[in-house]
Amino acid sequence: MELPFDLDELVRGALREDLGRSGDVTSEITVPDGAAARGRAVARAPGVVAGLSVFRRTFVLLDPSVAVTTSVFDGTAVEAGTALAEVRGPARSILGAERVALNFLQHMSGVATLTRRFVEACAGTGSVVLCTRKTLPGLRALERYAVEAAGGRLHRGGLDGGVLIKRNHLRMAGGVEEAVVRAKAGAPHTLKVEVEVESLEELKTALAAGADAILLDNADLETVFEAARLVAGRVPLEISGGVTLDRVGDIAAAGGLLISVGRLTHSAPAMDIALEVSPA
């Protein structure tokens, strides 16, 4: 698991957004200059933690004199009431970075918590859960980190990460066979060619055309199982579209599937985490 190389730039942007031109005017007015504080980040609900390094970095970038120590590791499942980290330093600095640090930690932990639930629902089937490109703009790398921390797998990180022929490409190219043939002829040998299909007939056409992987979109359970039988492990078979927590276990039972789930990143509810601050 790796955090983005431009993490500091991302965090600084978030701090600038929150502090604006004048900084934390409330703390400047109400908190004595030089006052020291101690803060405890505590889980108020059960979940899977992710983003503690980002949490720490937020405070340090605002004020290097702030010290942050963590009590758990990313990917750890915790119960409500678990202490996750301790923050010590100038009170104004802690209060100034509090919301941004928590926003990162709550969101990333929410993604990790939802991902873990999907992963556990697929346990023992040989199928794996993937994230998608349906991410919040600017936060993709952090969300992908959280997915991986919780045991999920990563799809391509961007449009340059692989050839994935989607429905709009098929319309423009003239169909599954034509699109796959063009892609196989034009793609570097290091890139696999995956094509999205919506029926078993299109799946057969994709196989015959030489697709390296197939994405079956918005299929019912019967079609998923028949698709798995037809592919028979010759190429990776990915399932997407309408994959809910209630359905994912039944889909995964077809065995050996890649199951992509957009809601891991675009719809994960934030984990409830608080920072309890008191005089040091």
Active site residue 99: yes
Q: Which of 12, 38, 88, 99 is catalytic?
A: 99
Q: Which of 8, 28, 44, 166 is catalytic?
A: 166
Whether residue 91 contacts residue 279, with contact meaning beta carbons closer than 8 Å, is answered with: yes
- Using CB atoms within 10 A of its CB, is residue 181 exposed (0-12), middle (13-18) or buried (19+)? middle
Q: Which of 18, 217, 226, 272 is catalytic?
A: 217
Whether residue 257 contacts residue 233, with contact meaning beta carbons closer than 8 Å, is answered with: no
Active site residue 166: yes
Pick from 195, 187, 229: nearest CA to 212: 195
DSSP 58: H
Which helix H or strand E contains 200, and what residues bound it? helix 200-209
The partner residues of 43 in beta bridges, in order of sequence, read 273
Q: Which of 98, 196, 202, 238 is catalytic?
A: 196
Rounded Cα distance between 88 and 39, Å, is 6
Which helix H or strand E contains 96, and what residues bound it? helix 91-121
Q: Which of 134, 140, 156, 192 is catalytic?
A: 134
Whether residue 170 contacts residue 190, with contact meaning beta carbons closer than 8 Å, is answered with: no
Geometric angle at alpha carbon 161, from 156 and 166, rounded to 5°: 75
Sheet containing strand 36-43, strands side by side: 67-70, 83-90, 36-43, 273-279
As annotated, the active-site residues are 99, 134, 166, 196, 217
